[in-house]
A and B are shown apart, each in its own frame.
Chain A
Amino acid sequence: MSNAVTALNGAKSTGYVTVKEAPLTGMITLRGTFASKGFAKMVKSVFGTDIPEQRKVSKGPEATVLWMSPDELMVVCDYAAAQDLVAKATAQLGDEHALVVNVSDARAVFTLSGAQLREVIAKEAPVDMSQFEMGEVRRTRFAQIAAAFWLEAEDHARIICFRSFAEYMFNLLKNASQPGYEVGGW
């Protein structure tokens, strides 16, 4: 919809790592039995990729699937496509016990870009960023709120949190990435 807006209207800060609120992003929560053939088949045919391994990300041509828990996935896709994908997935699952729900509006998405983005994350999340790998997704907390993040490239990360916390998250990341606030060797 043309009149849809993100929580912060694409706010951006340019520090030693660039923080940007991403444009509207499609997000779909999938809950189901991963071991079930029907569920796996649905993921493959609707989202073009396999169910990711524990704490991993799998990428299809038009959707990225994040492992959220042993019975929950999150699909990240084009905002405009989300509703159709939900309908397709729901239709394909038929009677199978599963939950497919469009949550594109429930969350805010941020991107971090820059070579030192790992240390910006390490200022807010109790995660060993020296060991964090591409293809991994981590649900954790950023300071006082729940969030998840993954790397799209060595110098590009995505962070999602609930929409109402968007401003808090943006300010956290902005403060942590101010020029001169580099941690340096760690």
Chain B
Amino acid sequence: MLILECPYCGVHAEETELHAGGEAHLKRFGPGSSDDDFENYLFMRENPKGVHFERWRHVNGCGKWFHAARCTMTLEVFGTYSAQTTEPPKDICDKISAKRPGWSWRNFS
């Protein structure tokens, strides 16, 4: 059962305080977008064995959404960070690089 530190309230919340929200850093495609873009946005998801970026909500807590970078294999958590960003921050990427050299996820590495 996971523990993630909520970057908004600082609580090391266990999974029962959290709500999983799927893949992080999706770019929304609205009216006017192509069928492919919309399909990718709405349905296509990464299913990595290793480094992954996810959305979580501290639902039984401060109620804030945040992002988590973790390893789906070992469940190691590389860091949690603000939900209000379109890509993983550099310090998180650096941490991952230190532990998982050569990692890549979507177009991030």
* Chain A interface residues (CB < 8 Å from chain B): 54-55, 68-70, 72, 126, 138-141, 146
CA distance A68 to B14 in the complex (A): 18
B1-55 residues at the A interface, CB under 8 angstroms: 8-11, 14, 16-17
In the complex, whether B75 has a CB less than 8 A from a CB of chain A is no
Q: Give every chain B residue within 8 A of A68 (Cβ-Cβ).
A: 62-63
List 14 additional contacts besides A55-B10, A126-B17; criterion CB under 8 Å: A54-B10, A68-B62, A69-B9, A70-B8, A70-B9, A70-B62, A70-B64, A72-B63, A126-B14, A126-B16, A139-B9, A139-B62, A140-B60, A146-B59
Q: Give every chain A residue within 8 A of B60 (Cβ-Cβ).
A: 139-141, 146
7 contacts between A and B (CB under 8 A): A54-B9, A54-B10, A55-B10, A70-B62, A126-B17, A138-B11, A141-B60
CB distance from A142 to the nearest CB of B (A): 9
In the complex, whether B61 has a CB less than 8 A from a CB of chain A is yes
CB distance from B105 to the nearest CB of A (A): 27
B63 is contacted by which of A69, A126, A141 (Cβ under 8 Å)? Answer: A69
Q: Give every chain A residue within 8 A of B64 (Cβ-Cβ).
A: 69-70
CB distance from B33 to the nearest CB of A (A): 31
CA distance A114 to B14 in the complex (A): 27
Which secondary structure characterizes the binding site on chain B?
A: loop
CA distance A1 to B42 in the complex (A): 51
> Which residue of chain B lies nearest to A69 when distances are taken between CB atoms in the complex?
B62
> Which residue of chain A lies nearest to B62 when distances are taken between CB atoms in the complex?
A69
> Are B8 and A69 interface neighbours, CB within 8 A?
yes
B17 is contacted by which of A69, A70, A141 (Cβ under 8 Å)? Answer: A141
CB distance from A172 to the nearest CB of B (A): 15
CB distance from B58 to the nearest CB of A (A): 8
CB distance from A150 to the nearest CB of B (A): 14
> Are B16 and A55 interface neighbours, CB within 8 A?
no
> Are A55 and B8 interface neighbours, CB within 8 A?
no
Q: Give every chain B residue within 8 A of A138 (Cβ-Cβ).
A: 11
CB distance from A93 to the nearest CB of B (A): 22
Query: Given A126-B16, A126-B17, does the pair A139, B61 have CB atoms closer than 8 Å?
Result: yes
> Are B8 and A141 interface neighbours, CB within 8 A?
no
> Which residue of chain A lies nearest to B60 when distances are taken between CB atoms in the complex?
A141
> Which residue of chain A lies nearest to B12 when distances are taken between CB atoms in the complex?
A128
Query: Given A69-B63, A70-B64, does the pair A55, B11 have CB atoms closer than 8 Å?
Result: yes
> Which residue of chain A lies nearest to B63 when distances are taken between CB atoms in the complex?
A69
Query: Given A126-B14, A126-B16, A126-B17, does the pair A140, B61 have CB atoms closer than 8 Å?
Result: yes
CA distance A141 to B11 in the complex (A): 13
